[in-house]
Structure 1
Amino acid sequence: MSQKLPATMKAVGLYKYLPISDTNSLLNLEISLPELRKRDVLVKVKAIAVNPIDTKQRAPKPKVEISPRILGWDGAGVVVAKGVNARIHNIGQEVFFTGNLARNGSNAEYIALDEVHVALKPTNLTFEQAAAMPLTSVTAYESLYDRLLLTEKDKGKSILIINSAGGVGSVASQLAKHLGLKVIGTASRSETKAFSIDNGADIVLNHTQDLLPQLKDIGYGNGVDYILVNYDPYPYWDTLMTAIKPQGRICLIVDSSGLVDLRPLKEKSITLVSEQMGTRIKYETEDIFRHQEILQTVSQMLEKGDLKCTLTKVMKPINAENLKEAHRLLEEQHLIGKLVLSGF
């Protein structure tokens, strides 16, 4: 039975896609609550994470929206209503969730989500801590388990994680370490190197310098078994082709900014895969509920301490002013860990 809900809600959205410095880039709005589809749950939002994809979605383009676009692709809150076919969650449960690029997001008091996007919030985490984890954790989990096909049998093998201090990289490092792999991260500043080590990297290389001699110096001159690239692969391409062992696997989570030569893959029989967190959702694949399964597994790992939260900064409340500042910080690319906004 649904709780009594208001007719309208606060939200932060946009009509025009503008630089974050523009006054109208993000606006405080009062809009109607979203309508529920049959398999939806309605979540009252307590906290939201801000991710690089938010800034990319908001980036300047000529399109103008008739109805406001609400960004935000993960968060945490409480289930307050559900569609007629929603079976997984009950009203009153505390949950965390990923978003859907095809629908309005979490920068609002309420969000309607297909139940596959939602899992029980880890009981040991606050709403702010929980909100920091869904998007990066599902992406990292899919990258390692579903794309690179890592299992416990790979204990002792090596993985190079480009940009190991980033949101996905810091979770992927923890997951790889949990599987018993030798985790080689990359960072450049002393604080990002320390963050990488704290989140599971055994060794951290400097990605502003040639990685190949650094790999040789630490005993991996013959290459690594796996590579996860959490950055534009274009400037790294030749290095990747040399650094990967024959029959190794490389996973990309960021688009290449330029054309690359795939021919070196054949000689070594390299498997090249890509990860996009929303693939199962967008194409309604037969294993669509794998998304919810992964998110629930992440919740359990966080409760057990097999994963730890990567939250480093909280801003209050959720409004246009603070979201603009959050977007600005992300666009400067100096933020370490996850940034969360809390409360309306």
Structure 2
Amino acid sequence: MSIHAIAVDPKDPQQFIAIKLPQPEVGENDLLVTVKAVSINPVDTKVHQGAIKNGLQAPKILGWDASGIVTAVGPNVSGFAPGDEVWYAGDITRPGSNASQQLIDYRIVAKKPRSLDWAAAAAMPLTALTAWEGLFEHLKIQDASAEKTLLIIGGAGGVGSLAIPFAALNSQVKIIATASRPESAAWCLERGANLTVNYQDLVGELASHGIKQVDYIFCLNDTDGHWPAISQLIAPLGTVCTIVENAQPLDQNQLKLKSASLHWEFMFTRSMFSTPDMAQQGKILQQVAELVDAGKVKTTLTATLNGLTVASIQAAHHQVLAGHMQGKVVVTC
């Protein structure tokens, strides 16, 4: 039996191709999942750009967000059985979810929300994990008092769209989100932001609201571009977390003077290094599923493309690369 996949073409990495592969052999900690929907994230486009720059020896299957049905389980797996409906964000060191079937370590998987269809579920895992880990494991905003402020740079994107309601539900902080368009501002406010500001002049915009500094900053795009404002705005003893790699060295003199801390959030760390707490990601996804089914968190799905084809994957990548995504784009399989 073979599986169908869409992969980066090693002969021309700019392009995607449809390929057939043997059905993978289930490892001891693996679930074999029949994929029903996948979403496209900035990491997909970045890995694709890396393949274009560095070349490939073999076709590369991208995709790190999926919902699907468990087909088989490995001997060490507990808590899952064939027929279970699941969601997960994947492992960047293994073949991705742009395939009819995929192997995934059961520890980073959870049962999908019962209230969501395949596409709505696939939109959320990677961004949910990134938002949750950034807010509650690095920034630790759940411990903050009500007078503290959180600035989310990139409020209407995939991660920001979940970071806002997570912060609103699980902390007392005042939530400020960046949004440059009226529809993006409305999106952020609907999800629980207390205030929106235009990212093009963060210092000036916040000053117009009487805000000279913030206690927590969650940077979800363009770390280099926003760094001068971040350094100026972060309060003494404040905390910064970013998910975007820097292209240039970051001047940390202001952070040093303020005894402020800088954290990096990379959702794939736990699976990449098989950390002892790797199963925490499955637990986080289960908590998020419960919030969704309780009606407290909404899916971030905003666009759906039908059929796992070269054309649909290319179109989804183009939407993400355009840089104006509100929420997430999903491809159904």
1:111-260 aligned at under 5 Å gives the runs 111-151=102-142, 153-178=144-169, 179-208=171-200, 210-221=201-212, 223-260=213-250
Distance 1:62 1:280, change over 3 A: closer
Structure 1 counterpart of 2:324, from 322, 334, 338: 334
Shift of 1:17: 8.0
The CA deviation string for residues 169-218 of structure 1, in whole angstroms up to 9 with x for no partner, is 1111111111232111112122222222222222111112x211221221
Give the residue type in structure 1 aligned to 2:104: L
Identify the residue that residue 70 of structure 2 maps to in structure 1: 79
Aligned residues: 330
Deviates more, 1:77-86 or 1:154-163: 154-163
Q: Which residue of 1 aligns with 2:82?
A: 91
317-326 vs 136-145, which moves further: 317-326
The CA distance in 2 between the partners of 1:117 and 1:109, in whole Å, is 19
CA contact (8 A) 1:165 1:192 kept: yes
Partner amino acid, structure 2, of 1:150: I
Supply the AA of the counterpart residue of 1:206: N
* Unmatched tracts of structure 2, length 5 or more: none
Q: Distance in 1 between matches of 2:165 and 2:156?
A: 11
CA deviation after TM superposition for structure 1 residue 163, in Å: 0.8
Letter in 2 for 1:296: Q
1:98-117 CA-to-partner distances (Å, cap 9, x unmatched) read: 11111101101101000012
State which of 39, 45, 57 in structure 1 corresponds to 2:29: 39
* Residue pairs, 1:276-291, within 5 angstroms: 276-291=266-281
Post-superposition shift, 1:15?
A: 3.2
2:56 matches 1:64: yes
Which secondary structure state, in structure 2, belongs to the residue aligned with residue 61 of structure 1?
A: helix
Q: Which residue of 2 aligns with 1:10?
A: 4
- Residue 219 of structure 1 and its aligned partner are, at CA, apart by 2.4
Cα contact 1:51–1:330 (8 A) shared by 2: yes
SS across alignment from 1:335: coil
Does the CA contact (< 8 Å) of 2:144 and 2:172 recur in 1? Answer: no
- What do the CA deviations read for 1:267-325 (whole angstroms, capped 9, x no partner)? 11101111000111111222111111111111111111221111001110111111101
The alignment partner of 1:269 has SS state of coil
1:40 & 1:73 partners in 2: Cα distance?
A: 16
How much has 1:45 moved relative to structure 2? 0.6
Q: Is the 8 A contact 2:4 2:21 kept in 1?
A: yes
Deviating 4+ runs (over 3 angstroms): 152-156
Unaligned runs of 5+ in 1: 1-6
What CA distance in whole angstroms lies between the structure 2 residues aligned with 1:88 and 1:154? 37
Q: Identical aligned pairs, as a percentage?
A: 36
Please, what TM-score do these two structures have when normalized by structure 1? 0.92
Q: Which amino acid aligns with 2:6?
A: V
Contact 1:129 1:309 in 2 (8 A): yes
Contact 2:108/2:280 (<8 A) preserved: no
Q: Call closer, same or farther: CA 1:154–1:37 in 2, change over 3 Å.
A: farther
Partners of 2:214 and 2:35 lie apart in 1 by 42
TM-score, reference length from structure 2: 0.95
SS at match of 1:286: coil
Amino acid across the alignment from 1:61: K
**AA partner of residue 167 (structure 2):** A
d(CA) in 2 for partners of 1:148, 1:330: 27
Cα distance between partner residues in 2 of 1:84 and 1:315: 36
- The residue matched to 1:167 in structure 2 has which SS? coil
What secondary structure does 1:318 align onto? coil
Provide the alpha-carbon RMSD of the alignment: 1.4
